[in-house]
Structure 1
Amino acid sequence: ALPIYTFTAPIAKEKSLKHCGGCKDQGVRALALSPDETLLYATSFEANALSVINVATGEIIQSITTGAHPDSLILSRDGTKAWVINRTSNSVSAIDLVTYQHVADIPMEKYDGTGTSGKPGAWVMALSRMKEHC
């Protein structure tokens, strides 16, 4: 059986965000577990950051700045890189998970929830953990 991990964190005071249509979904938007299952990565929508959490202790060990309102993320197969889709800044943040550095922002034309610049016929890219399927 797989272990179940629980974490708690303070909830920010509810407020209206004009640039996001008054959205109130300000907490964690996406989670990803490191390949060795020792770290949990969580997008912090209100804080514009990617939080790195030690699974064993539940402690936030690093907070990495992203673009505005990180909405989803994907990790490289080896767990050394992350790409975070940012809702309000219309960008994808490239993150180095070895140095915990925000490497670059890749601009997108319009956020549409897929990371494909909203262009017709664009493809969504995902990484498989199984090498033979890539």
Structure 2
Amino acid sequence: DRGSNFILKLDERTLPTGFRPTTENPRVVRLTPGVMAEINFGASIGKVVRVDLNRAAFTTGADGKPALGHALDLGIRRMVPEMAGEPIIIRLAWHIPAGAGATEVAEGRALMRLAEKRIRAEWRKAGRTQLRIETVIVRAGQ
């Protein structure tokens, strides 16, 4: 039982603008005395697709719960097959008024999760590469 596990995490903020990691982060390597170990990280400038969302993109389902609006659902079904062959980052941006409080932010995060679930479901059918989804809240005037 010689050696120990060493974990190294790449700080993504140190990458050039537009670059994203393409390998697992953090990396784990087994270190044993007298043996050299090497850890490499991959990064590339990826294609970023921004999807701007607000409350108007969603409806209330028959069960009274929020649901994707027809236009958003159709847009996701059309968008995913077009991008399925390449590594991509989808950035969901939720727009809220400048003075919005915690309730509006929480609602935005919940609705973005609905959109993310739908995108991932479509990606499982058509995607052949890794999909990364980022979410961001955008306040008016920023």
TM-score (norm. length: structure 2): 0.24
Structure richer in helix, relative to its length? 2
TM-score (norm. length: structure 1): 0.24
